[in-house]
């Protein structure tokens, strides 16, 4: 084990030096503030060790917003670099690192945590449960995801970032061509986060299958619950493939095996195949919950039942099945032959059928509805045409013969941003605006929300629409610069300006959160939007830690809408209240996250002795978990009565 101390910190770049100083100052600042305000205990007991699914969800979302910022800065740096030809703002190596971390962070540490955070908050409420099936495992999932994200993020100041693209194709990502530690970070940080995600998938499958309240059959589940179930299923099917892929990549880099190497019989295209066997389903892992979010929001603000509920369910099941059968379309140019390419062309195009069904269902839901243009609804409305552009260009890319022209150009980059941004980011925004009052007891400002909406939408289209044309003119992706003679300059500049507007949109969201925390009107009404349809709106706002005083019973779809319509099942009888059993806090997951972080760090630098010592800590944690008997606690009747009485008022209260 030889430690090269002089190569540990990345040096010589003023941008990175600035970040290093900023990181140290922020950390000192956070520690100082927590100590000064004596908030350590509050942080540890109330949040870091809390197994409450709503708090875990909030922690996921905070992490997602922070990572959005980090990934967004990466994006802005790329746009600044390419705004003018022959620019020297970033050198080739730095540009490689920036587009790699941008991709990884946005997909794995922004989109996934955001959606899993929303799932955490909403799913138990929608199915009328008090927590997930495995609350402590849920917290561990969060901490592993967080540890993976932190490990990945330290790479750019310690040791150097991965630089082989978010797809990390071999042989480029192998030790022969990138000897530094950057791609070790990729293999190990994503592995740690991936284990957390797999556990989340298992947790939500069991939660949704086993913990639905009385009367909620599968076909009475809200659409977001359905999409979350199918997403969890894809996670369980696809993530183990990624686990193996990363393991083999790590073996190649750390222990000299020959899976993907050029010599020794390795096959570099094996990486591409394995990566996309996970990678394509991964796209649907992030997009399906978004479809669910839109379904909820469109039905709510149209005041109509979702059109074609059954066909929606069939569509998502078909999409999930097809998502496993299209991976070769990411590398038609591998040259495996027209027969194989044709098969994958057809399966790819077939995905547009169930997706189209969903599109029409949303449109038909709105038909003759009384549409209310609230902030969440606006995001849902903007999603439909923008996502359509992404979908149609996707069908263009699906044609194998034509793809040889588009492959690895900015046309492709524009396409997938047109699917992922309306498909995921807009949905996350819509969900934040929609469920925010449920979680915090106040709405985000609609007025600032409109600024956020228009800046983001204009910025997004201005950034990415020109890239379709750039791509068709031959501008390739992942190239740090271009010549003046290429004539790409005007469109690149336009795209750069768009990125600034996009960033202003994100800033408007942050300002909205700040403003609304300080000034927004507080509410305790259970249904602040007035037209909600599903069970999460049937309990107090903000949701009490026990979720429901008595578990609701359901006899149809849109259970809460029916409750309101029939004025039934909404008054609470005091005599029915019993002490509620809740799971207790646990410090072990946070500690395990920390141990995994250090373990991963040592492994990245191939300091095996240190890694082995820390590895003992992981085993110790598992042993402690095995012997732990955490029976939780009971919420006393008095506390429930007091709380329920306050928010319900006398009209929804029966005290015999």
Find the catalytic residue in 311, 352, 408, 630. 311
Active site residue 13: no
Query: Between residues 373 and 633, which has the closer beta carbon with respect to another protein?
Result: 633
Active site residue 355: yes
- Residue 370, C-beta contacts closer than 8 angstroms, at least 6 positions apart: 302, 303
Query: Between residues 261 and 409, which has the closer beta carbon with respect to another protein?
Result: 261
Query: Between residues 629 and 651, which has the closer beta carbon with respect to another protein?
Result: 629
Q: How far is the CB of 656 from another protein (least distance, A)?
A: 25
For the record, the structure tokens of 9 come out as: 């910190």
Active site residue 483: no
Find the catalytic residue in 417, 533, 564, 648. 417
For 345-391, the DSSP string reads HHHHHHHHHHHHHHHHHHHHHHTT------HHHHHHHHHHHHHHHHH
Find the catalytic residue in 50, 54, 74, 592. 74
Q: How far is the CB of 239 from another protein (least distance, A)?
A: 7
Q: How far is the CB of 202 from another protein (least distance, A)?
A: 5
Active site residue 120: yes
Active site residue 280: yes
3-state secondary structure labels for all residues of 125-182: HHCCCCCCCCHHHHHHHHHHHHHHHHHHHHCCCECCCCCCCCCCCCCCCCCCCCCCCH
- Residue 178, C-beta contacts closer than 8 angstroms, at least 6 positions apart: 163, 164, 172
- Residue 363, C-beta contacts closer than 8 angstroms, at least 6 positions apart: 384
Active site residue 514: no
Query: Between residues 285 and 520, which has the closer beta carbon with respect to another protein?
Result: 285
Q: Please report, as ranges, the residues that interact with another protein according to CB under 8 A.
A: 130-131, 133-134, 198, 201-203, 205-206, 209-211, 236-241, 243-245, 247-248, 251, 255-259, 261, 263-267, 270, 274, 277, 581, 583, 619, 623, 626-627, 629, 631
For 181-193, the DSSP string reads SHHHHHHHHHHHH
Query: Between residues 281 and 466, which has the closer beta carbon with respect to another protein?
Result: 281
Query: Between residues 31 and 244, which has the closer beta carbon with respect to another protein?
Result: 244
Find the catalytic residue in 52, 54, 60, 170. 60
Active site residue 416: yes
- Residue 272, C-beta contacts closer than 8 angstroms, at least 6 positions apart: 167, 169, 330, 331, 334
Query: In this structure, how many other beta carbons lie within 10 angstroms of the beta carbon of residue 381?
Result: 20
Q: How far is the CB of 205 from another protein (least distance, A)?
A: 5
Q: How far is the CB of 578 from another protein (least distance, A)?
A: 10
Q: How far is the CB of 41 from another protein (least distance, A)?
A: 27
Active site residue 361: no
Find the catalytic residue in 53, 54, 55, 70. 70
User: Do the strands 653-654 and 633-635 form a parallel or antiparallel pair, or are they unpaired?
Assistant: unpaired
Find the catalytic residue in 49, 96, 145, 347. 145
Active site residue 184: no
Query: Between residues 183 and 245, which has the closer beta carbon with respect to another protein?
Result: 245
Find the catalytic residue in 50, 161, 183, 200. 200
Find the catalytic residue in 96, 100, 138, 203. 138
Q: How far is the CB of 252 from another protein (least distance, A)?
A: 8
Find the catalytic residue in 168, 178, 295, 348. 295
Query: Between residues 267 and 637, which has the closer beta carbon with respect to another protein?
Result: 267
Query: Between residues 119 and 557, which has the closer beta carbon with respect to another protein?
Result: 119
Active site residue 258: no
- Residue 568, helix vs strand vs coil: coil
Find the catalytic residue in 242, 260, 284, 464. 284
Query: Between residues 584 and 649, which has the closer beta carbon with respect to another protein?
Result: 584
Q: Give the C-alpha distances (Å, rounded to integers) separating 81 from 59, 69, 479, 493, 552.
A: 33, 18, 10, 10, 56
Q: How far is the CB of 283 from another protein (least distance, A)?
A: 18
Q: How far is the CB of 106 from another protein (least distance, A)?
A: 25
For the record, the structure tokens of 499 come out as: 């990125």
For the record, the structure tokens of 352 come out as: 């547009």
Closest CA to 368 of 304, 297, 293, 310: 304
| Distance in angstroms (rounded) separating the CA atoms of residues 85 and 291 | 39
Q: Give the C-alpha distances (Å, rounded to integers) separating 534 from 58, 351, 530, 539.
A: 20, 29, 12, 11
What burial letters (b/e) apply to 86-95, b meaning 16+ CB within 10 Å? eeebbeeebb
| Distance in angstroms (rounded) separating the CA atoms of residues 643 and 153 | 42
Closest CA to 181 of 198, 203, 157, 202: 157
Asked if residue 300 lies in contact with residue 533, where contact means CB atoms within 8 angstroms, the answer is yes
Q: How far is the CB of 243 from another protein (least distance, A)?
A: 6
Find the catalytic residue in 355, 361, 534, 547. 355
Q: Which residue has the tokens 């669910």?
A: 292
3-state secondary structure labels for all residues of 574-619: HHHCCCEEECCCCCHHHHHHHHHHHHHHHHHCCCHHHHHHHHHHHH
Query: Between residues 51 and 59, which has the closer beta carbon with respect to another protein?
Result: 51
Q: Give the C-alpha distances (Å, rounded to integers) separating 634 from 464, 542, 575, 578.
A: 53, 20, 17, 10
Q: How far is the CB of 264 from another protein (least distance, A)?
A: 5
Active site residue 433: no
Active site residue 300: no
| Distance in angstroms (rounded) separating the CA atoms of residues 641 and 644 | 5
Active site residue 417: yes
Mind telling me the catalytic residues?
60, 70, 74, 78, 99, 120, 131, 138, 141, 145, 197, 200, 207, 280, 282, 284, 295, 311, 355, 358, 415-417
């Amino acid at each position: 084990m030889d430690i090269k101390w002089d190569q540990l910190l990345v040096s010589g770049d003023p941008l990175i030096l600035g970040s290093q100083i900023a990181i140290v100052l922020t950390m000192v600042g956070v520690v100082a503030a927590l100590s000064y305000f004596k908030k350590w205990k509050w942080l540890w007991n109330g949040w870091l060790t809390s197994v409450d699914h709503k708090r875990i969800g909030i922690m996921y979302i905070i992490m997602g917003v922070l990572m959005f910022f980090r990934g967004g800065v990466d994006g802005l740096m790329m746009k600044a670099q390419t705004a003018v030809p022959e620019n020297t703002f970033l050198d080739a190596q730095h540009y490689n690192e920036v587009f790699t971390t941008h991709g990884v962070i946005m997909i794995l540490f922004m989109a996934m945590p955001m959606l899993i955070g929303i799932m955490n908050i909403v799913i138990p409420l929608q199915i009328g449960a008090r927590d997930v099936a495995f609350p402590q495992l849920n917290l561990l999932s969060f901490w592993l995801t967080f540890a993976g994200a932190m490990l990945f993020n330290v790479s750019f100041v310690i040791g150097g970032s991965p630089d082989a693209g978010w797809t990390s194709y071999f042989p480029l990502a192998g030790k022969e061509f990138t000897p530094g530690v950057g791609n070790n970070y990729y293999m190990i940080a994503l592995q740690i986060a991936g284990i957390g995600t797999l556990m989340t998938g298992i947790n939500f499958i069991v939660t949704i299958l086993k913990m639905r309240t009385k009367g909620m059959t599968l076909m009475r589940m809200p659409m977001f619950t359905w999409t979350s179930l199918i997403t969890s299923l894809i996670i369980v099917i696809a993530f183990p493939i990624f686990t193996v892929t990363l393991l083999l990549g790590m073996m190649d880099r750390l222990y000299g095996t020959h899976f993907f190497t050029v010599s020794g019989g390795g096959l570099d295209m094996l990486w591409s195949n394995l990566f996309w066997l996970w990678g394509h389903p991964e796209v649907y892992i992030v997009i399906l919950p978004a479809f669910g979010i839109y379904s909820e929001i469109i039905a709510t603000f149209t005041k109509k039942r979702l059109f074609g509920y059954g066909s929606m369910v069939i569509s998502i099941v078909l999409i999930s099945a097809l998502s496993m059968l299209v991976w070769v379309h990411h590398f038609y140019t591998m040259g495996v032959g027209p027969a194989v390419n044709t098969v994958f062309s057809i399966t790819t195009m077939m995905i547009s059928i169930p997706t189209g069904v969903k599109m029409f269902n949303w449109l038909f839901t709105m038909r003759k509805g009384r549409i209310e243009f609230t902030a969440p609804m606006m995001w849902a409305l903007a999603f439909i045409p923008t996502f359509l552009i992404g979908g149609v260009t996707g069908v263009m890319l699906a044609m194998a013969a034509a793809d040889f022209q588009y492959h690895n150009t900015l046309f492709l980059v524009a396409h997938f941003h047109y699917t992922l941004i309306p498909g995921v980011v807009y949905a996350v925004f819509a969900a934040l605006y929609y469920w925010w009052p449920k979680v915090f007891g106040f709405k985000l400002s609609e007025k600032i929300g409109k600024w956020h909406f228009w800046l983001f939408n204009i910025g997004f289209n201005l950034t990415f629409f020109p890239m379709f044309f750039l791509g068709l003119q031959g501008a390739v992706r992942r190239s740090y610069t271009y010549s003046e003679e290429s004539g790409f300059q005007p469109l690149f500049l336009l795209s750069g300006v768009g990125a600034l507007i996009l960033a202003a949109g994100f800033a408007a969201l942050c300002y909205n959160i700040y403003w609304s925390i300080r000034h927004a009107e507080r509410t305790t009404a259970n249904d602040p939007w007035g037209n909600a349809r599903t069970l999460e709106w049937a309990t107090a706002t903000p949701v009490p830690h026990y979720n429901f005083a008595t578990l609701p019973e359901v006899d149809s779809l849109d259970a809460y809408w029916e409750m309101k319509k029939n004025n039934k099942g909404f008054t609470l009888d005091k005599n029915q209240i019993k002490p509620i059993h809740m799971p207790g806090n646990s410090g072990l997951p946070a500690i395990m996250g920390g141990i995994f972080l250090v373990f991963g760090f040592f492994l990245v630098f191939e300091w095996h002795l240190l890694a082995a010592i820390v590895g003992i800590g992981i085993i110790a944690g598992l042993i402690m978990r095995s012997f732990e008997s955490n029976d939780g606690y009971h919420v006393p009747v008095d506390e429930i009565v007091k709380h329920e009485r306050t928010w319900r008022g006398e009209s929804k209260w029966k005290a015999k």
